[in-house]
Amino acid sequence: MSTTRNAAPLETLGLTPDQAALYTTVLRLHRATPADIAEAMDLPADDVLEPLARLVLLGAVDEQHGEYLARHPAAAIGRLVAERLDRIARESRQIDEVIASVGRLTHHYDAGRDCLSGQFSVEVVSGADELYESVVGLALQAPPADLVSAIPDRRTMSHFAEKYTGPWAQAMEDGILRSRTVVPISVLAAPGARETCDRLSEAGARIRTLEHVPSWFFALGHDTAALPAEWGASPPEHAYHCYLVRAPVVVAALRTLFEELWARATPLHPPAGAQQVLRLAARGLSDEGIARHLGLSVRTVRARFAGAMAELGAQSRFHAGVEATRRGWL
């Protein structure tokens, strides 16, 4: 099959040499039957049917009543260019995803190396200022850093509320830090604890409560974790003598523990709509009365009750009311 110099740009845009030569021939003929095109190219008629169908799919040629009409070169090439650009964009996204996966795969590599060597980077931290300020300092190295933390007792919460709420909240508002925290329900009774949780929530933190949190700890990103000198003890009892561990395998273990606690914990603030139905139920209104009061269907009211009970881990509506009161939802 013959080709021409004009076909070269089309080949660059993805057409095969045969398709490019065929398109150039149809351009010259302007409108022709497959037999006319095959004769002009000195080919059997059957040999041009499949390439012609491909050109129609590409939008370079139109088929009308058994004849083929070449579209204007600007339109045909424009469509080919657009398809090439789309393909390049897809390939670029795939490359970005591959590059992003390097970091995740590196954590597995480091974890395996750490397990084999038994060598972990451990840094002793003494003092509340050094401990809490180190979180923001580490986050600044690769913002926004993902922080998960557990606070197990009122004393630790009171210390944090007094001195460090402001810097952490500011770091979240500045986009330096993302935070999720689990605290025991009893902590909310500590002086300033509720205000601290509300301030952090306003800054973007997500906070949940549990009956019991096993120990204080935090994990920052996938590389750094902090552990108390004695697991389960209050950091103030040991003058905030803690350990910063830089080992992906340790961080991964603590993150797994945190996610298990998080899944069992209750949100600090009630889901949308739950507070209204719980308060009206506490006043003695029936489902129908609540529905009329809120302008909702009875089905919606019952769905909100079900959602609130699931979040509170309650077995009955009475139990839900008790738990909602304990958690400050009412």
What would the pLDDT profile of 56-72 be if each residue is shown by its tens digit? 887 778 888 888 887 77
Across 22-40, average pLDDT? 86
Q: Do the Cβ atoms of 192 and 220 come closer than 8 Å?
A: no
Q: What is the reported pTM? A: 0.54
Does 266 have pLDDT greater than 70? yes
Does 182 have pLDDT greater than 90? yes
pLDDT band at 114 (very low <50, low <70, confident <90, very high): low
Across 129-143, average pLDDT? 77
Does 329 have pLDDT greater than 50? yes
Does 17 have pLDDT greater than 60? yes
Strands (E) in 49-174, as ranges, are: 61-64, 67-70, 121-126, 145-150
Average pLDDT, the chain: 79
pLDDT band at 113 (very low <50, low <70, confident <90, very high): low
In this predicted structure, which of 12-16, 84-88, 93-97, 183-187 has the lowest mean pLDDT?
A: 12-16
Q: Which two three-digit tokens encode residue 264?
A: 């069992």
CA angle 145, 147, 150 (to 5 degrees): 170
**Predicted pLDDT of residue 13:** 63
pLDDT band at 181 (very low <50, low <70, confident <90, very high): very high
Q: How far apart are CA 232 and CA 223, in angstroms?
A: 22
**Predicted pLDDT of residue 4:** 46
Largest distance between two CA atoms of the chain: 95
Strands 206-210, 217-220: parallel, antiparallel or unpaired by DSSP?
unpaired
Does 262 have pLDDT greater than 80? yes
Q: Do the Cβ atoms of 193 and 187 come closer than 8 Å?
A: yes
Q: Which pLDDT tens digit goes with each residue over 237-250?
A: 766 778 888 888 78
Percentage of the chain lying above the pLDDT 90 cut = 3
Q: How far apart are CA 277 and CA 302, in angstroms?
A: 9
**Predicted pLDDT of residue 108:** 56
